[in-house]
């Protein structure tokens, strides 16, 4: 961490050097320690630090952007001038209403844990050791990674934006393999103390042992019980391919034609809330606008997408505080990145017990968009698929390929789990999701 004082000094320096009519500067700083392991031993420990300064310059109705990780006076000056020159080269955009005037300061949200920020390689090694020892005791091969670190974000603009946030992150990913099976688990939090290595190791061990010698099964439509890991993939895809207003306005979203209509099971509610510390919160966006809670789906009815100032201005609305850093996701549009799905009243065991015949799925892998309508996705299962017969896990089955609309899949939600799991990825995206039971899910083929 470079601290709030240093962050604000960089931003103030950037604004003072700008010759543009208006300027916005956003600073993102991350320090990460990563301990990798394979074959039941640690094989690599690395640390990584980076700071990226994002500059947006305004000339009339034109915008120019530049990014640098050179925070020297000379590096900042070059980036600021480049952003201004880029603005002058751009055509005027009649939909651009200018930088947002930010009057309300974002509230501080608990998201920083000192034990996580100061976590040493030795401390991460102790976490990894739990997994490796359990794997070795069962004759399994463990691989994965444990990561900890800090992130800082800060924004200033000539229109009054001024915000700073510091947070931490921790994660443990495990893959445990036998000759014919694999088990997978993932733990995430902004507190290292929340990472229960014993439980996560037991979860992966259980699936690897139970999953030995999987049998083939015919593709087709099956009732499925989805672990939170698979539900995370569904929410992540729905966000990436349609929860942002710019995608809706361009007609490329699964939300097009569905806003205000019941398009999913009434058991499904999905929202984004950047200030909820149950997730991985950042209480303001890259424009310094405080993040608002947005109900994407409420009891199956599709609500509104998330907005930044540009998309909101096109509709005469206020920004919901969802502008992303334009280098993180390859887009300058808004995104929902701290997503929640409402929980239900069933245990995972209860979902399996209520299923006469179906499949229990650990996670989806290598999923890709086929068509934006309905968020049609293709991918495969991985790391633990089991046939359910008469309310019990019967035997493991080989992985399956699927082509399935995620919107239509959520129409089929029959039961929602009573516990939710926080799942974070390395790009600043988080979901808090329960397990789900779906009446039908379409599998189109088998894997080798």
* Burial class of 262 by CB neighbour count within 10 A (0 to 12, 13 to 18, 19+): middle
398: tokens are 């080989």
CA–CA separation, 445 and 182 (whole Å): 20
Q: What integer pLDDT is reported at residue 332 of this predicted model?
A: 58
- Residue 69 DSSP code: S
Tokens of 62: 């034109």
How do beta strands 141-157 and 22-38 pair?
A: antiparallel
CA nearest neighbour of 181 among 446, 416, 362: 362
Domain with CATH 3.30.2290.10 in the chain: 3-207
Closest alpha carbon to 230 in 31, 63, 402, 52: 402
286 backbone dihedrals φ, ψ, rounded to 5°: -75, -5
Report how far residue 337's alpha carbon sits from residue 428's, in angstroms, rounded to the nearest whole number. 7
Supply the DSSP string of 201-259, one letter for each residue.
HHHHHHHHHHTSS-B----EEEEEEE-HHHHHHHHHHHIIIIIBHHHHHTT-STTTTTB
Per-residue pLDDT at 333: 85
Residue showing tokens 């929640």: 340
Q: Which residues contact 387 (CB under 8 A, 6 or more apart)?
A: 215, 217, 357, 358, 359, 360, 393, 394, 395, 396, 397
DSSP assignment string, 306-369? B--HHHHHHTT----S-BPPTTTSS-SSB---EEEE---SB-HHHHHHT-SEEEEEEEEEEEEE
Is 381 exposed, middle or buried (CB count within 10 Å of its CB: 0-12, 13-18, 19+)? buried
Nearest to 305 by CA among 332, 333, 326, 284: 333
C-beta neighbour count of 41 within 10 angstroms? 12
**388 is written with which tokens?**
């359910």
* CB distance 387 to 393 below 8 Å: yes
Q: How far apart are CA 161 and CA 12, in angstroms?
A: 12
Check residue 144 and give left, alpha or beta (phi > 0: left; psi -120 to 50: alpha).
left
Give every CB contact of residue 292 below 8 A, 6+ residues apart in sequence. Answer: 320, 321
- Residue 68 in contact with residue 86, Cβ under 8 Å? no
Cβ contacts of residue 376 below 8 Å, gap of 6+? 369, 370, 403, 404, 405, 406
Judge residue 345's burial from the number of C-beta atoms within 10 Å of its C-beta, 0-12 exposed, 13-18 middle, 19 or more buried. Answer: exposed
Distance separating alpha carbons of residues 286 and 291, to the nearest angstrom: 10
CATH number 3.30.720.110 given to 3-207: no
- pLDDT in 10s for each residue of the chain, 448 residues: 999 999 999 999 999 999 999 999 999 999 999 999 999 999 999 999 999 999 999 999 999 999 999 999 999 999 999 999 999 999 999 999 999 988 777 788 999 999 999 999 999 999 999 999 999 999 999 999 999 999 999 999 999 999 999 999 999 999 999 999 999 999 999 999 999 999 999 999 999 999 999 999 999 999 999 999 999 999 999 999 999 999 999 999 999 999 999 999 999 999 999 999 999 999 999 999 999 999 999 999 999 999 999 999 999 999 999 998 754 444 558 999 999 999 999 999 999 999 999 999 999 999 999 999 999 999 999 999 999 999 999 999 999 999 999 999 999 999 999 999 999 987 779 999 999 999 999 999 998 6
């Amino acid at each position: 961490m470079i601290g709030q004082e240093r962050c604000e000094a960089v931003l103030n320096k950037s604004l003072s050097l700008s010759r543009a009519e208006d300027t916005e500067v956003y600073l993102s700083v991350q320090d990460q320690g990563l301990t990798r392991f394979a074959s039941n031993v640690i094989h690599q420990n690395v640390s990584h630090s980076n700071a990226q300064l994002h500059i947006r310059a305004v000339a009339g109705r034109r915008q120019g952007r530049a990014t640098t990780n050179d925070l020297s006076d000379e590096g900042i000056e070059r980036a600021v001038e480049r952003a201004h020159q880029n603005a002058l080269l751009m055509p005027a955009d009649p939909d651009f209403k200018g930088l947002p005037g930010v009057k309300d300061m974002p509230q501080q949200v608990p998201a920083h844990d000192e034990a996580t920020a100061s976590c040493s390689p030795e401390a991460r090694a102790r976490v990894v050791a739990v997994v490796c020892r359990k794997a070795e005791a069962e004759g399994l091969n463990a691989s994965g990674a444990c990561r900890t670190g800090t992130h800082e974000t800060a924004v200033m603009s000539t229109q009054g934006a001024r915000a700073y946030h510091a947070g931490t992150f921790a994660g443990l990913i495990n893959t445990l393999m036998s000759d014919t099976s694999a088990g997978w688990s993932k733990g995430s939090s902004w507190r290292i103390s929340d990472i229960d290595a014993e439980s996560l190791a037991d979860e992966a061990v259980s699936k690897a042992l139970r999953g030995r010698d999987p049998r083939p099964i015919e593709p087709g439509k099956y009732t499925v019980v989805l672990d939170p890991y698979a539900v995370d993939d569904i929410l992540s895809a729905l966000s990436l391919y349609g929860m942002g207003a710019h995608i809706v306005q361009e007609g490329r979203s699964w939300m097009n034609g569905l806003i205000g209509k019941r398009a999913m099971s009434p058991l499904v509610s999905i929202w984004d809330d950047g200030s909820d510390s149950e997730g991985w919160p950042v209480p303001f966006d890259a424009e310094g606008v405080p993040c608002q809670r947005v109900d994407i789906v409420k009891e199956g009815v599709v609500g509104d997408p998330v907005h930044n100032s540009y998309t909101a201005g096109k509709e005469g609305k206020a920004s919901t505080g969802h502008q992303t850093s334009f280098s993180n996701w390859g887009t300058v549009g808004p995104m929902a990145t701290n997503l929640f799905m409402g929980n239900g009243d069933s245990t995972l065991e209860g979902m399996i017990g209520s299923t006469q015949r179906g499949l229990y799925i650990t996670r989806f892998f290598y999923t890709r968009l086929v068509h934006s309508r309905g968020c049609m996705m293709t991918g495969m299962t991985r790391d633990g698929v089991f046939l359910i017969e008469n309310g019990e896990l019967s035997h493991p089955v080989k992985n399956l390929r699927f082509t399935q609309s995620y919107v239509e899949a959520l129409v089929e939600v029959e039961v929602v789990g009573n516990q939710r799991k926080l799942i974070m990825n390395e790009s600043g995206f988080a979901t808090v999701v329960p397990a789900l039971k779906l009446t039908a899910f379409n599998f189109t083929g088998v894997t080798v």
